[in-house]
Structure 1
């Protein structure tokens, strides 16, 4: 049986403009610049640079665009458009009355990077020094193409043989591939083309001048690789009937080897990351000063050409259907351009006020650089200070950098949970991690400290922490367990 009834429900829906604003806030400087270029390419009514005749402040601030929609249902008849809203006055534009402390000198310039020969091309060039038949060269080049950025061939020989037959029409056999692989192993850097770590280390050891320590290191890797990897040094001493000093020298030879020969190649084709800080914090006369990267504050205005199109339509007496369609298009582009300019301003304000709150919250640390003075801080702490939603603060903090007197830092690194010390005071987990890292760095590597012993030491220092918490912090710091830190 069907029934009708009334149901009151409150729901919150974000407009497309609000969603776009949240996306703009989340973007770091370089991604924001790319988004700005995309918007300018899509909207010819939006221009950058200084313009003598643009819109009044009231035209940007008094109009609301939150409910704007491009759908046909909300289409406004051309006769109902107030053209004066889209035409500029003779008053001074708003952008000329605002103080902008960003200069071109503050902008980060693009850094040119060299384009050296790639890792794989260098290997191909080295192959040219070997006398090979056409078939052998094709196989060798295929093997070089199978080497990853770390310098390894992580495929079995049968798979390589099958792949060459199906994709290259090269019909060969495992014996011939293994023979060509020996040539690959002669290339630089030594160890390139290995199938696994054990083979990589052996290739490098066999290229070293034979000594007692090198011979012992070779035997260890060749015969007792698993015991070495697990640092079962007592077993190695017993197996090879050697002293601890002899084992120490052999291990020293192994530690000097490169487990990632391809990664050390200066001309590898990895993208060089260039971090552009979104904010800068300076200390001036004992006070902190925050500035937003000038590249986040572009000079934007609405195209004067589109304004003139509106004026032409207004002055014309006979308005054709094509002109009415044109004014609809112009209105859409002008509204979009005005909203985007306003969104950029809101983005700047949101970024600045949020980072300013973070700066003052961590003022004690930023004034002298002592990491033990970093206060416990969560997203809610900043959200309550600036009156923004936690998700907005998270968008500002995530993937953005700030240049401080102590280096460029990821903003989210300032956030940490709080733990109580033995005096009941809240301390940052960052402080505890730094103390833990220092203890491990200073430990006796012949008898590294287990997690329960680390917990006891931290407890003695005034930080009562459970062993499982120590293990969690150690993993976050990418520090291995005690057995793997042991040295002979």
Structure 2
């Protein structure tokens, strides 16, 4: 049975402009510059540089009087030739302007190196070996199976089958094993084409000039690899009947090795990603000074040519013939004016949010002591600036600030609160820093287990459980006590 009823429902929807503004706020400086360039290319009514004091509102308001009856109609602007509405046939000025740098900035370009890749370098090294056609094909296939870290993650049988099915190369496991050991594993860097960490370390040790320490290191990795990785040093001392000094020297040789030989190849390194700080904090006469990166505050204005076109069409007697043109121009002008307002609102939002964070963590920014970072959550800053928590999150998640103590990711200043023995709220960042200091100062011959670390922190006024210590230790990438042990 069908039923009809009337239901009142309150819902909140974001306008397209609000959604675009939130996206702009979330962008860091470099991404924002790219978004700005895209908008200027898409909308020729938007130009960079200082405005020539033309009153946009006058034209916008007057145009509405004469064309209100067309506002709700669907206008097809596909056939409009934009060039006909420009003041001349030349390329607009905005396409030549960089708009994000001052006039006295140097025009510098960044050269890029067209280097040889890791795998291409390995293939080039094969030319130093005397191989027949089949052996070379097998060697090249093996090189192609090496990952970027320098390891082969496949079995010999898999490579034999794959060569037969995909390359038409018919061989056997003994041949592949021979070429792997006597050809590919002889390539540089040492340790390349290993199938596991143990083999990788052995290959590197065997490439070194033989000494007593090297020979002992080879024996340890070859015969007692499991005991070595678990740092059972007493077992190694008994097994090889050596002194602690001899074991220490052998371990030093092993620690010099590269567990990922592929990463040592300079041509395989990924381009370094440069961080552009969105803010700068400086200490001026004992006071904190916050500066928003100038590249976040470009000078933009609405095109004078487009405004004059709108005025000329308004004065035209044949308004019906100019309907499409006027609608198109109005759309571009409105879009440009909104984008300029959105940029200004973005600047204000970024500044007031970072300013609140700076004053909230004033003690830290004045002397750089991480133990002085206060517990701070998104709601604390949102309440201070009167913004939504999601807006503060967008500002913090992808923005960097240049401080006297280095460039920091803003979200790293946020942390939960915990009570110390005096009932005061302390930041989890402060506890992690103290935990890290305790571990750095411990006797590495007898590293402290988590329960002992918990006792030390409790004595310092931070009563936290052993499992919490373990969690913080893992977040700091610090291994368990057994793996921190040194002889």
Give the TM-score taking structure 2 as reference length: 0.86
Once superposed, which parts of structure 1, at least 4 consecutive aligned residues long, lie more than 4 Å away? 53-61, 72-78, 102-115
C-alpha distance in structure 1 between counterparts of 2:76 and 2:191, whole Å: 73
User: Measured at CA, do residues 269 and 121 of structure 1 come closer, stay the same or move farther in structure 2, by a change above 3 Å?
Assistant: farther
C-alpha distance in structure 1 between counterparts of 2:60 and 2:240, whole Å: 82
C-alpha distance in structure 2 between counterparts of 1:356 and 1:274, whole Å: 24
Partner of 2:477, secondary structure, is coil
Q: How does 1:286-305 map to 2 (within 5 A)?
A: 286-305=286-305
TM-fit CA distance, 1:467: 0.6
Partner of 2:47, secondary structure, is strand
Q: How many residues align?
A: 459
Q: Which residue does the alignment assign to 1:485?
A: 484
Give the TM-score taking structure 1 as reference length: 0.86
Q: How does 1:16-35 map to 2 (within 5 A)?
A: 16-35=16-35
User: Measured at CA, do residues 126 and 311 of structure 1 come closer, stay the same or move farther in structure 2, by a change above 3 Å?
Assistant: same
C-alpha distance in structure 2 between counterparts of 1:427 and 1:292, whole Å: 30
Partner of 2:159, secondary structure, is helix
Partner of 1:20, secondary structure, is helix
Q: Which residue does the alignment assign to 1:220?
A: 220
Partner of 2:351, secondary structure, is helix
User: Measured at CA, do residues 468 and 136 of structure 1 come closer, stay the same or move farther in structure 2, by a change above 3 Å?
Assistant: same
Q: How does 1:94-109 map to 2 (within 5 A)?
A: 103=102
Deviates more, 1:49-58 or 1:183-192: 49-58
User: Measured at CA, do residues 59 and 415 of structure 1 come closer, stay the same or move farther in structure 2, by a change above 3 Å?
Assistant: farther
C-alpha distance in structure 2 between counterparts of 1:317 and 1:443, whole Å: 89
User: Measured at CA, do residues 422 and 2 of structure 1 come closer, stay the same or move farther in structure 2, by a change above 3 Å?
Assistant: same
TM-fit CA distance, 1:128: 2.7
TM-fit CA distance, 1:320: 5.3
Partner of 2:418, secondary structure, is strand
Q: Which residue does the alignment assign to 2:258?
A: 258
Give the RMSD, CA atoms, in angstroms: 3.0
Name structure 2 gaps, 5 residues minimum: 64-70, 78-100
Partner of 2:288, secondary structure, is strand
C-alpha distance in structure 2 between counterparts of 1:44 and 1:370, whole Å: 49
Q: Which residue does the alignment assign to 2:93?
A: none
TM-fit CA distance, 1:73: 6.8
Name structure 1 gaps, 5 residues minimum: 64-71, 79-101
The 8 Å contact of residues 106 and 294 in structure 1, kept in 2 or not, is answered as no
Partner of 1:195, secondary structure, is coil
C-alpha distance in structure 2 between counterparts of 1:397 and 1:241, whole Å: 57
C-alpha distance in structure 2 between counterparts of 1:75 and 1:356, whole Å: 46
Q: Which residue does the alignment assign to 2:85?
A: none
Partner of 1:208, secondary structure, is coil
The 8 Å contact of residues 217 and 251 in structure 1, kept in 2 or not, is answered as yes
C-alpha distance in structure 1 between counterparts of 2:60 and 2:396, whole Å: 28
C-alpha distance in structure 1 between counterparts of 2:323 and 2:9, whole Å: 41
C-alpha distance in structure 2 between counterparts of 1:244 and 1:369, whole Å: 41
The 8 Å contact of residues 202 and 218 in structure 1, kept in 2 or not, is answered as yes
The 8 Å contact of residues 103 and 294 in structure 1, kept in 2 or not, is answered as no
TM-fit CA distance, 1:103: 5.0
Alignment of 1:274 with 2:290, yes or no, is no
The 8 Å contact of residues 108 and 276 in structure 1, kept in 2 or not, is answered as no
The 8 Å contact of residues 60 and 342 in structure 1, kept in 2 or not, is answered as no
Alignment of 1:331 with 2:330, yes or no, is yes
Q: Which residue does the alignment assign to 2:416?
A: 417
Deviates more, 1:133-142 or 1:187-196: 133-142
Deviates more, 1:155-164 or 1:441-450: 155-164
Q: Which residue does the alignment assign to 2:355?
A: 356
TM-fit CA distance, 1:106: 8.7
C-alpha distance in structure 2 between counterparts of 1:240 and 1:313, whole Å: 96
Alignment of 1:408 with 2:415, yes or no, is no
Partner of 1:267, secondary structure, is helix
TM-superposition CA deviations, 1:295-327 (whole Å, max 9, x none)? 111222223333343234223323455x32233
Deviates more, 1:280-289 or 1:312-321: 312-321
Deviates more, 1:468-477 or 1:339-348: 339-348
